[in-house]
Amino acid sequence: MIERYSRPDMVAVWDPDRRLQVQLEIELLACEAMERRGEVPAGTAAVCRERARFDRGRIDELERTLKHDVIAFLTNVNEAIGEPGRHLHKGMTSSDVLDTALAVQLRDAGALILAELDAVLAVLQRRAWEHVHTVCIGRSHGIHAEPTTFGWKLAIFWDELRRGRRRLVLAIEDIACGKISGATGTFAHVHPDVEAYVCERLGLVPAPASNQIVQRDRHAAFFTTLALIGSSIEKIAVEIRHLQRTEVREVEEPFTRGQKGSSAMPHKRNPILSENLCGLARLVRGYAGAAMEDVALWHERDISHSSVERMIGPDATITLHFMLYRLRGLLDGLVVHADRMMANLDRSGGLFYSQRVMLALVEAGATREEAYAAVQRNAMVAFTEERALLPLLLADAEVGGRLGPEQLGACCDPRWYVRHAAEVLRRVFSPHDQGA
């Protein structure tokens, strides 16, 4: 992933030297386990650990001839260790090292994403309570429906990302799985105790059964979870983009001192952060599709998944981590125009009161069909002639014959629609629901 969309702590997880360091640790731990079993001479593991070094430039040089990355790595390490190095990789296959190292990297990347997601959830919760009573018009099909509150919108976003968090915790648990079971995974030349020892020291669990690789449904689940979180981020970004449109202008992304919105038009203040998040979400979803394609490999394994994972592992995690960081700043600095929300709510002349008036007519003895027809008749006049609904209803003999001015006036209070807002937010943010 390019530097523009990368955070240093996540980039460090995928640094090539760190990957090689994890691979080296796997080899050294396996040697320790074999020594404990009496399968290599006593003291071998300590000597190997003391002397072990690698040089990425030298590995690249060796690979140009050997055409095999793990052999190039082992050759370089053994150049530093000397004779005891012949006991490294005993009975193991390349995927033992590569799959177990990838599990470590994905687990650590997942932990960083989880921490950033928690920071986003904290901001969403704070701002939801800040705007629990900030009334705005709700929209369905992009058209005014009935009132809601901006805090209610944010609570829904929080609840969705909380579900994403729960999925991520499970996906991290699932992906933190290693294997040291040799060619085709049968433990023919390496004992299961070695696998158990290595995985325990790395904080992984051994695959209950493996062939030559860890099965890729685990990876597909991990990347699909990232894609779902990315899609939830896009959902929030799309809402902000719509609400920032000039004709709406209920919220605005933070526009910092000295910022410029357009190279041509000095007046522009564009929702560039939200648009960026929408674009990056497309990438994260694409990585999930690639991971799905990796599940079905030939027999005990092929390596068609390898090239895919070398790219999507860093790119998907770096991208989503950056998206969460950007979303946190966007939500924290989001400007909310409560007065504009009320002005937009009033633009329709009270059309959104139609359902409450209809139900009041039903309570007063009208059939639902009669009530619907009476309210719709007046609502269509209000809509086409841009008039207020309440005076039309008061002048309608059929409506007025059942509901007096006081009853109709009581139907036209926007606060009535959102009277349960605080109750709903308490339900969303209860300690029970916050658990992963």
Active site residue 141: yes
Dump pLDDT digits (tens) for 55-87: 999 999 999 999 999 999 999 999 999 999 999
Q: What is the pLDDT of residue 261?
A: 84
Domain ranges of the chain: 1-90, 93-346+422-436, 351-411
Taking residues 391-397, report their average pLDDT.
94
User: Beta-carbon neighbour count of residue 292 at 10 Å?
Assistant: 17
Q: What is the pLDDT of residues 198-251, one digit of tens each?
A: 999 999 999 999 999 999 999 999 999 999 999 999 999 999 999 999 999 999
Give the separation between CA 66 and CA 62, rounded to whole angstroms.
Answer: 6
- pLDDT surpasses 50 at 433: no
The pLDDT score that the predictor gives to residue 264 is: 85
Among the four given CATH numbers 1.10.275.10, 3.40.640.10, 3.40.605.10, 3.20.20.70, the one describing domain 1-90: 1.10.275.10
Look up the CATH number of domain 93-346+422-436: 1.20.200.10
Q: Which pLDDT belongs to residue 256?
A: 80
With vertex at residue 299, the alpha carbon angle to CA 296 and CA 303, rounded to the nearest 5 degrees, is 65
17 vs 365: CA distance, rounded Å = 78
- Rama region for 82: left / alpha / beta (φ>0; ψ in -120 to 50; rest): left
How far apart, in whole angstroms, are the C-alpha atoms of residue 392 and residue 412? 13
Pairing, β 143-149 against β 135-140: antiparallel
Contacting residues for 398 by C-beta, under 8 A, at least 6 apart: 370, 374
End-to-end CA distance of the chain: 29
Task: Give the strand pairing for 177-178 and 143-149.
Answer: unpaired
Q: Is 262 a catalytic residue?
A: yes
Per residue in 4-59, pLDDT (tens digit) is 999 999 999 999 999 999 999 999 999 999 999 999 999 999 999 999 999 999 99
* Euclidean distance between CA atoms 99 and 103, whole angstroms: 6
Would you say 297 and 304 are in contact if contact means Cβ atoms under 8 Å apart?
Answer: yes
pLDDT at 257 over 50: yes
The percent of residues above 70 in pLDDT, for the chain, comes to 98
Residues 6+ apart with CB under 8 A from 48: 28, 31, 81, 84, 85, 87, 88
Give the domain 351-411 fold. Ribonucleotide Reductase Protein R1; domain 1 (1.10.40)
**Could you give the C-alpha distances from 286 to 220, 227, 380, in angstroms and in order?**
12, 8, 45
Residue closest to 274 by CA, chosen among 248, 238, 226: 238
Confidence of residue 432 (pLDDT cuts 50, 70, 90): low
Is residue 121 predicted with pLDDT exceeding 80? yes
Give the pLDDT score at 369. 96
Which listed residue (140, 141, 267, 432) is catalytic? Answer: 141
For every residue of the chain, which 3-state class applies, written as one string? CCHHHCCHHHHHHCCHHHHHHHHHHHHHHHHHHHHHCCCCCCCHHHHHHHHCCCCHHHHHHHHHHHCCHHHHHHHHHHHHHCHHHHHCCCCCCHHHHHHHHHHHHHHHHHHHHHHHHHHHHHHHHHHHHHCCCCEEEEEECCEEEEEEEHHHHHHHHHHHHHHHHHHHHHHHHHHCEECCCCHHHCCCCCCHHHHHHHHHHHCCEECCCCCCCCCCHHHHHHHHHHHHHHHHHHHHHHHHHHHHCCCCCCEECCCCCCCCCCCCCCCCCCCHHHHHHHHHHHHHHHHHHHHHHCCCCCCCCCCHHHHHHHHHHHHHHHHHHHHHHHHHHHHHHCEECHHHHHHHHHCCCCHHHHHHHHHHHHHCCCCHHHHHHHHHHHHHHHHHHCCCHHHHHHHCHHHHCCCCHHHHHHHCCHHHHCCCHHHHHHHHCCHHHHCC
Catalytic residue among 68, 191, 242, 262: 262
Assess contact for 335 and 244: CB atoms under 8 A: no
Predicted local distance difference test score (pLDDT) of residue 296: 95
Across the range 168-182, mean pLDDT stands at: 98
CA–CA separation, 379 and 390 (whole Å): 9
The angle subtended at Cα 176 by Cα 182 and Cα 118, nearest 5°, is 165
**Cβ count within 10 A of residue 38:** 8
